Amino acid sequence: MFHAKNPRRLTFALIAFVLIIIVGLITMSKPVHIYKSNSAEILKSILLKEGELTPEKAMLYAKENNPLFVFVDIRDPYEYVKGHVPNAINISLTELLSDETLKTFDKYTRDKVTIVIYANTQTEANGPWMLLKQLGYSDIKVLLGGYEYYSKVPKENEKVPENPEYYVESQSMILQK
Amino acid sequence: MGPLISQGYINPEWNFVIALLLGVAFGYILEASGFSSSRRLAGVFYGYDFVVLRVFMTAVMVAMIGLVYFDYMNWIDISQIFILPTFLTSVIVGGVIMGLGFIMGGYCPGTSFTGVAIGKLDAVFFTAGLFLGIFIFSSAFPLIEGIYYGGELGPVTVMDTFGISRGLFAFLFIVATISAFILVSWIQKRVTKNEV
Amino acid sequence: MNKTYYFLIILILTLGIGALFFPEKSYIKEISPELLFYKMNNPSRFVTTDQVAKLIIESDPTLFLIDTRSSDQYGSFSLPGAMNIPLDELVDSIGIICPKWIDYLDIEGMKVIFFSNSDVIADQVWVICTRHELDNLYVMRGGLNTWAETILMPQKPSEYSPDEEFALYDFRRGACQYFVGGSISIKSDVVADQVPRVRRKKKTVVAGGC
């Protein structure tokens, strides 16, 4: 029989095989951040518009200091100092994925507090908002129109226009002309 | 990380060089396992020598465990691996022709070349027949094109068809193979005893 | 039977049992969240309307405009040469980008520019596509509304503005002439995509065989 010819060869092959698998299992690295929802779920939630907060409501919640909402300003600290939503916390964009930030977000999620992300424009906050949603923070909203429109919200006694300007995507200047 | 070529770690031009090296290694292992002897190969049909079954099934098991584990360890992306599409008719017809040729000639295509390499006369005849067959097949291709492309199923796998996980399939396959090994060693013992 | 065989059987069975407990992996092609975040913060993913206008006028062969609004809106007006990929049809049920779009989005050497009325929807499309390993994607800053403000109705800069602004104004006036043919009114027949698009070779070719 063949195995009798060179029994050592089998042993070597065996040790190599087992070693490779052991080394692989030991050196396996676990990714720090994992996507918890796929693109289909994200798209569905975008289309349902469940993650949007109008500036009027935002102003209301901020004024009454609603404990179920926390405003997160992702602009840099200088802009935050110049003016921000009352009681908003400042987490600048570069710190968004740091352990500390995510721990804070985890805490809010546990306490069932809705996180509202905003920046100057909605587009600036859109990417971070979508990223956090994909990382599994489901109770997170984005401020429609951003801080730009928040500062222009009509007073309580004024009439709210039918198609408010902060629905930036439903404005079409070209078709109006 | 892997597969190295489709992920761009190795230039696709190296394909043929790698294929050559793998081919040399394959031929060496076949010869070293005694696969250049047609008596030995045909033994699997008569029940006196099951080395063919043992070598190939062991190779499949090792490769399978390796792929499953490497995939788990993120060394290789199994979804990137090329899976040959299944053509049901040509697989059945081709399998019957190949099986008949194997019983009659005592070689399969790969082993016949290792036989030629060490100068076996029957292997030379077998290879000549192989090339004759290739010539006839290519000349008659328009006639048998329907059979060749018949029953296309695409790149199907057992896992997808039955909806089981890769790990479960690997485990079941290993259990089945080991049972087969035990069964054939029992058959072999009985057949060789009778002969002696 | 040799003793080694028992050892081999036990080893391979153990490995097989180990394989039983591996979790199911998803094989959707995607980049890591960190890389997505890094790309998101790169400001060069935005292009201005002036740059887009220049590329269209020069009929840059590597330019590929994609309208991410609904097909109704696309039907009434779009940029010349733009193709329509509505946001709600981008992804299929298992969470990958619909294969019919991949052939257009994953082309070597093409600059794919997304636009919508503003830039929010275009940005959402950008985030989803970038997650799925697509490259060379851009967002037109301000979208069609900024396009209308800057290219179709350019504002004359004040007398004391620097020369660059006048140069920009001249360029915009010229671009306006190019796009609306002198008159300010916009004809809906500017709708493009009469040119049949040729599907080009994809970046990755599935290769293999035995």
- Digit-coded pLDDT (tens) for A14-42: 889 889 988 988 888 777 788 888 888 88
Percent of chain B scoring above 70 in pLDDT: 97
Averaged over B43-71, what is the pLDDT? Answer: 88
Within an 8 Å CB–CB cutoff, is residue B170 touching chain C?
yes
Asked if B39 and B106 count as a contact pair (C-beta separation under 8 A), the reply is yes
Tell me the average pLDDT across C64-71: 90
CB contact under 8 A, A17 and B34: no
Question: DSSP string of C34-95?
Answer: HHHHHHHT-GGGEE-HHHHHHHHHTT-TTEEEEE-S-HHHHHH---TT-EE--GGGSB-TTS
Q: Which domain holds residue A115?
A: 39-172
pLDDT over 80 (residue B144):
yes
Task: Give the 3-state secondary structure of residue B154.
Answer: strand
Domain at A127, CATH number: 3.40.250.10
CATH number of C33-181: 3.40.250.10
Average pLDDT over residues C183-201: 47
Q: What is the pLDDT of residue A162?
A: 66
Q: Assess if residue B76 is contained within a domain.
A: no
- Does pLDDT of C193 surpass 60? no
Nearest CA in chain A to C119: A123
Put simply, the answer to whether C117 touches A31 (Cβ < 8 Å) is no
- The count of domains in chain A is 1
Does A108 reside within a domain? yes
**Which of C15, C25, C208 shows the shortest C-beta gap to B65?**
C15
Does B1 have pLDDT greater than 80?
no
In a domain, A94, yes or no: yes
> Which among A2, A17, A24 has the least Cβ separation from residue B73?
A24
Q: Does C31 touch chain A (CB under 8 A)?
A: no
In a domain, B138, yes or no: yes
Predicted confidence band of residue C189 (pLDDT cuts 50, 70, 90): very low
Rounded to a whole number of angstroms, the distance from the CA of B178 to the nearest CA of chain C is 7
Considering only CB atoms, which chain C residues are within 8 Å of A94? 41
The closest CB to that of C95, out of A33, A39, A126, belongs to A39
Express as a percent the part of chain B with pLDDT over 90: 35
Check if the beta carbon of residue B65 is closer than 8 Å to that of residue C13: no
Cα–Cα distances in Å, from A51 out to A42, A43, A47, A117, C135?
Answer: 10, 11, 9, 10, 27
Q: Which residues of C touch A171 (CB under 8 A)?
A: 117-118, 145
Band of the pLDDT at B174, cuts 50, 70, 90? very high
Q: Tokens in use for A107?
A: 């805490």
Q: What's the average model confidence in pLDDT over C153-181?
A: 83
Instruction: Please say if the pLDDT value at position B178 is more than 90.
Output: yes
pLDDT reading at B95 higher than 90 = yes
Residue C210: per-residue pLDDT? 36
Choice among A152-161, B41-50, B178-187, C142-151 with the minimum mean pLDDT: A152-161
Structure-block tokens of residue A124: 């600036």
Query: Mean per-residue pLDDT for C68-88?
Result: 88
* Predicted confidence (pLDDT) at residue B195 exceeds the cutoff of 70: no
| A134 Cβ under 8 Å from any chain C Cβ | yes
Q: Give me the percent of chain A exceeding a pLDDT of 70.
A: 88
Using CA atoms of B27, B30, B33, B37 in order, give the dihedral in degrees to the nearest 10: -110
Output the average pLDDT for chain C. Answer: 81
Question: Where are the domains positioned within chain C?
Answer: 33-181
- Predicted confidence at residue A155, as pLDDT, reads 60
Q: Which pLDDT belongs to residue C185?
A: 45
Distance from CA of A26 to the nearest CA of B (A): 9
Segment B106-132 mean pLDDT: 91
Q: pLDDT tens-digit profile of A75-87?
A: 988 988 988 888 8
Residue C190's pLDDT is 43
- Tell me the one-letter amino acid at A3: H
Q: How many whole angstroms separate alpha carbon B135 and alpha carbon B61?
A: 35
Over residues C115-126, the mean pLDDT reads 91
Coil, strand or helix: which one is A1?
Answer: coil
Confidence band for C77, pLDDT divided at 50, 70 and 90: confident
> Do the chains contact at C4 and A10, CB–CB below 8 Å?
yes
- Between B95 and B79, the more confident residue is B95
Q: Which pLDDT belongs to residue C22?
A: 84
pLDDT value of position B44:
85
Quick check: B62 and A17 CB within 8 A?
yes
Q: What is the pLDDT of residue C186?
A: 45
Amino acid at position B176, single letter = A
Q: How confident is the model at residue B97 (pLDDT cuts 50, 70, 90)?
A: very high
Pick the residue of A1, A2, A14 with the most B CBs within 10 A to test the interface with B by mutation.
A2
Q: What pLDDT is stored for residue B131 in this prediction?
A: 94
Q: What is the pLDDT of residues C133-157, one digit of tens each?
A: 888 899 999 888 888 888 888 888 8
| Residue B78 domain flag | no
Mutate one of B73, B76, B189, B192 to test the A interface: name it (highest A CB count within 10 A): B73
Residue A9, both tokens: 């060869």
For C104, the enclosing helix (H) or strand (E) is: helix C99-105
Q: Does residue B196 surpass a pLDDT of 80?
A: no
Residue C204 in this model has a pLDDT that exceeds 60: no
Structure tokens at B92: 């059945």
| Cα gap A148→A75, rounded to integer Å | 12
Q: Give the neighbours of chain C: at least 3 Cβ pairs within 8 Å.
A: A, B
> What does the block give as tokens for B30?
């076949």
Query: Does A35 sit within 8 Å of C90, measured CB to CB?
Result: no
Percent of residues, chain C, with pLDDT higher than 70: 84
Q: How many structural domains does chain B have?
A: 1
| Band of residue C195 on the pLDDT scale cut at 50, 70, 90 | very low
CB pairs under 8 A between A and B: 19
pLDDT band at A3 (very low <50, low <70, confident <90, very high): very low
